[in-house]
Structure 1
């Protein structure tokens, strides 16, 4: 069964936007995105989880949340899920 991120062959998502709406030359649109990127890099480097586990956590987001989330919001969701799965934080500790 395909997950929500696997939209190959599906229609109805509208045209693909191939230009960035901003004039930013920075790789991130907000400071928090850079922090999420750095946090993920550190956790992978330290062996808390690997990239396969990270990808799986992103892809298991509920479909509505996945479609409504930005790229780094999906990353942040995956980090939170994995930190709980690995016992680094208690379930619900990062809520709110």
Structure 2
């Protein structure tokens, strides 16, 4: 079963666009999410493949409605909750 993010081999998405002078982050919070993920992976809280899987497990409606780094944050929260690092509430 393919997931919403699995678009390999599909057509109709248009050509890949590379925007000149595109910043790596559009807001400070995005850079913080990137850094947080890097620290958690480096410290063995979870592996990069587990992080990718957490992004891919998102509900398709939520996946399509969120930005790239919002997906990262949701995946981080999911993994921390699953590992009981992040308390419910």
Task: Give the structure-2-normalised TM-score.
Answer: 0.87
Q: Which residues of 2 match residues 61-76 of structure 1 at below 5 A?
A: 61-76=58-73
Unpaired runs of 5+ residues, structure 2, are: none
When residues 46 and 89 of structure 1 are mapped into structure 2, their CA distance, relative to the original with a 3 A threshold, is same
Question: 2 CA distance for matches of 1:6 and 1:27?
Answer: 23
Determine which of 50, 53, 71 is the counterpart of 1:53: 50
Dislocated runs of 4+, deviation >6 Å: none
Contiguous gaps of at least 5 residues in structure 1:
none
d(CA) in 1 for partners of 2:58 and 2:15? 22
Tell me the residue number matched to 1:10.
Answer: 10
Equivalent residue, structure 2, for 1:40: 37
Equivalent pairs counted in the alignment come to 89
